[in-house]
Amino acid sequence: MIRIYSGTDELVELAKLFEESFRMPFPAVPIFFYNEIDGRGPISVRDGFDEHFEVMGWWAARDKAVEINDPHQWQLRNSTDDLLVTDHVVAGVAALKMGIRQYVMQMMYDLPPGTSGLNDLAKFQAAYELIEPLTRHFNFHIIKETRGGLSDFPPNLDKAKGHLAVSTYWQMYMEPDIVTWSAFLRRTTRPRPRT
């Protein structure tokens, strides 16, 4: 599976390119980020809303599963857990309103750094329980995706592997449909010296 996890402007044009070139299994689209709010895109926050909803509608028209990746963006910035849960609800409702039938609920564990697995489980279970009723009343399906937190891996490769194992253990309690083992692990850890 090849996935592109980028794009901060001209998102519909990029979506066309991604779909034509890679047959994207599911794109990641934010609501609040990748604009002037976080300095990762050239567009204003207001124009960002329009562009993000437009590209969500474009993907929905092609019946693609879509991940709305805002909740972990907030936690990467040390938000509170109640904001994370609230944003999962906002993302789920936005996906439904945009016509997305296969919503990828991405749950990034270990955020903010140092949080416990039990705390992660509590907030993700709460978020899921709040949006799951949408599946009973609409043609809407939640695909649960879990992953380890990018900013919490130790720099030592062996410790990072252990951290990933413990994080994955906690993720299994959510019975995920997709488990992403971060490719960032290779970039955030130092290579072992050759002996």
| Domain region containing 87 | 11-188
Domains of the chain: total: 1
Residue 143 falls within a domain, yes or no? yes
Give me the mean pLDDT over the 29-52 stretch: 86
The pTM (predicted TM-score) of the whole model is: 0.88
* Coil vs helix vs strand at 120: helix
Q: What is the pLDDT of residues 103-141, one digit of tens each?
A: 999 999 998 888 899 999 999 999 999 999 999 989 999
Residue 194 falls within a domain, yes or no? no
Q: Measuring CA to CA, which residue among 34, 32, 49, 179 is closest to residue 104?
A: 179
CA end-to-end span of the chain = 34
Residue 5 falls within a domain, yes or no? no
Looking at the chain, list the stretches that DSSP marks H as alpha helix, in order from N- to C-terminal side: 11-22, 45-61, 70-76, 81-97, 117-131, 134-137, 157-171, 184-188
Residue 6 falls within a domain, yes or no? no
Main-chain phi, psi angles of 121, to 5 degrees:
-60, -45
Mean pLDDT, the chain, whole residue set: 88
Residue 189 confidence (pLDDT) above 70 = no
Residue 104 falls within a domain, yes or no? yes
Task: Give the Å distances, CA to CA, from 53 to 79, 114, 161, 182.
Answer: 23, 33, 37, 27
Residue 193 falls within a domain, yes or no? no
Residue 93 falls within a domain, yes or no? yes
Q: Is 139 exposed, middle or buried (0-12, 13-18, 19+ CB in 10 A)?
A: exposed
The CATH number of the domain holding residue 93 is 3.20.20.440
> Within 13 Å and on the Cβ side, how many CA atoms surround 9?
8
Residue 1 falls within a domain, yes or no? no
